[in-house]
């Protein structure tokens, strides 16, 4: 009898403690066009001490994949699905998601989270398609894509005026990185203290056009020469400092111990012209951006590693051990992961392509075999990673060109083995066909 009573008591106590455990706060920070080697921990020439510290004390995900360009990556994060399911493959100003989409912020709100976006949305650039319509309590920044750092204008055209707070357009003074950071830190300080929160901070750095404040140019190492190269380095350093400010705010508010921070980029680095004619003139330093993806192949827009494999750090004191996680993961995995941590259980099948990473990141579970599917702008190129192989396809139908790489032995994709490995190529082609069958099944046509 005593044994039964004690056992019942401990079971009740365990259940109570589990139920009483606070839901984690989640801060997801995403840079724009940040190259693999733009950060110091990957050999970058610009110092990034705050990111270095996060990586040293947290967990670096060394094979973290995203889409080749921005709107698709954001679609994957918001839905847990491949962006091609929504027909989203390019940067776009049209509404990307169906109105009834269960987005990440909607899911978290349903289990008690406060939600905030401060930065770049780019999943529908009209105010009536903005973040507040898809689960964010508060939103601020650019409804469209990357903006001029000082005038906050998007490209010339219908969406040039895009800077907003809660979907109401406004004009403000200040550098875009500072404004996004100030809004994030201010929201953290002002929010309710008893509710968990999801803070999404999609910076516009280091997206063109770049023009940095003098105070940051003065901090660039002397060994970095050339006007645009120095502005680019200053932009990376400025971004790093912004991450440091957000972490410091969490610490000051006593929120850091129960907050999972994830930092990554939306695609690989770019070498596009900085002062293109698409943006209103503002004396931007001229020349191609020095986005650095070394040693990875290619850059933004490409399904090769340089376009889709990006820096990623996950940090949660006492919950994640410091180190490296080398298994392949993808941007679509974060929604299932965050929902699992928050206790969200969908009422229907959300058709997630992603998986809950937490068992492998924090609990030592063996990573499951993964098939990572990537679609480039306009479906013109696609790739499939299923270790040890990576299939790259350019074009479609009878004109398609297939390349096959042993991605474990040849991570920089130097040797195409398609001609020598016909059997393996055939298997990968069939896997690609299976993965592609769900494309466009959630197109925003409502």
Q: How many residues does the chain have?
A: 446
Per DSSP, the three-state class of 386 is strand
Alpha carbons 144 and 291: distance in angstroms, whole number: 22
Nearest Cα to Cα of residue 103 among 352, 298, 322, 399: 352
With contact defined as beta carbons under 8 Å apart, do 36 and 296 qualify? yes
Alpha carbons 231 and 437: distance in angstroms, whole number: 44
With contact defined as beta carbons under 8 Å apart, do 285 and 231 qualify? yes
**Cα 328–chain centre separation:** 15
**Eight-state DSSP code of residue 97:** S
395: phi > 0 → left, psi -120 to 50 → alpha, else beta; which? left
Strand partners, 262: 28, 314
Rg (CA), the chain: 22
Alpha carbons 446 and 433: distance in angstroms, whole number: 27
The number of beta carbons lying within 10 Å of the beta carbon of residue 284 is 20
**Eight-state DSSP code of residue 23:** P
Per DSSP, the three-state class of 405 is strand
User: Which are the contacts of 4, defined by CB distance < 8 A and separation ≥ 6?
Assistant: none
Active site residues: 70, 122
Pairing of strands 372-375, 138-142: unpaired
With contact defined as beta carbons under 8 Å apart, do 164 and 141 qualify? yes
Nearest Cα to Cα of residue 403 among 393, 413, 389: 393
Alpha carbons 310 and 256: distance in angstroms, whole number: 25
**C-alpha angle 147/151/156, rounded to 5°?**
60
First and final C-alpha spacing in the chain: 62
Task: Convert 166-189 into a string of H (helix), E (strand) and C (coil).
Answer: CCEECCCCCCHHHHHHHHHHHHHH
Place of tokens 């986005």: 291
Per DSSP, the three-state class of 37 is helix
């Amino acid at each position: 009898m005593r044994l039964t009573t004690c056992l019942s008591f401990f079971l009740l106590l365990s259940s109570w403690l589990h139920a009483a455990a606070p839901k984690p706060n989640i801060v997801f920070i995403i840079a724009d066009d940040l190259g693999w080697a733009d950060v110091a921990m990957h050999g970058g020439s610009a110092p990034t001490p705050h990111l270095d510290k996060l990586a040293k004390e947290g967990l670096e995900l060394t094979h973290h994949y995203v889409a080749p360009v921005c709107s698709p990556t954001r679609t994957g994060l918001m839905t847990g699905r491949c962006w091609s399911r929504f027909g989203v493959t390019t940067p776009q100003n049209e509404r990307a998601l169906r109105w009834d989409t269960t987005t990440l912020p909607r899911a978290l709100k349903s289990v008690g989270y406060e939600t905030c976006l401060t930065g770049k949305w780019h999943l529908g650039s009209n105010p009536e398609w903005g973040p507040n319509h898809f689960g964010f309590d508060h939103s601020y920044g650019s409804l469209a894509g990357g903006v001029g750092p000082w005038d906050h204008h998007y490209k010339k055209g219908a969406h040039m005026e895009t800077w907003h707070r809660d979907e109401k357009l406004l004009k403000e003074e200040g550098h875009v990185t500072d404004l996004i950071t100030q809004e994030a830190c201010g929201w953290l300080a002002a929010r309710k203290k008893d509710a968990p929160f999801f803070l999404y901070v999609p910076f516009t750095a280091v997206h063109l056009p770049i023009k940095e404040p003098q105070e940051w140019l003065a901090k660039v190492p002397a060994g970095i020469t050339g006007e645009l190269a120095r502005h680019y380095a200053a932009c990376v350093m400025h971004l790093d400092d912004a991450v440091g400010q957000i972490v410091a705010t969490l610490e000051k508010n006593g929120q850091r111990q129960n907050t999972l921070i994830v930092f990554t980029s939306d695609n690989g680095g770019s070498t596009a012209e900085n002062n293109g004619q698409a943006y209103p003139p503002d004396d931007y330093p001229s020349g191609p951006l020095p986005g650095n993806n070394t040693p990875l192949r290619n850059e933004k827009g490409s399904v090769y590693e340089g376009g889709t494999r990006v820096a990623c750090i996950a940090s949660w004191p006492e919950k994640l051990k410091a180190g490296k996680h080398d298994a392949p993961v993808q941007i679509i995995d974060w929604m299932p992961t965050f929902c699992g941590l928050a206790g969200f259980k969908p009422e229907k099948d959300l058709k997630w392509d992603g998986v809950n990473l937490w068992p492998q990141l924090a609990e030592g579970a063996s990573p499951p075999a993964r098939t990572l599917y990537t679609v480039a702008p306009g479906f013109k190129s696609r790739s499939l990673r299923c270790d040890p192989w990576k299939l790259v396809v350019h074009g479609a139908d009878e004109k398609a060109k297939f390349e096959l790489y042993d991605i474990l032995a040849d991570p920089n994709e130097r040797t195409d083995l398609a001609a020598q490995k016909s059997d393996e190529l055939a298997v990968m082609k069939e896997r690609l066909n299976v993965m592609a069958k769900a494309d466009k099944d959630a197109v925003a046509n409502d």
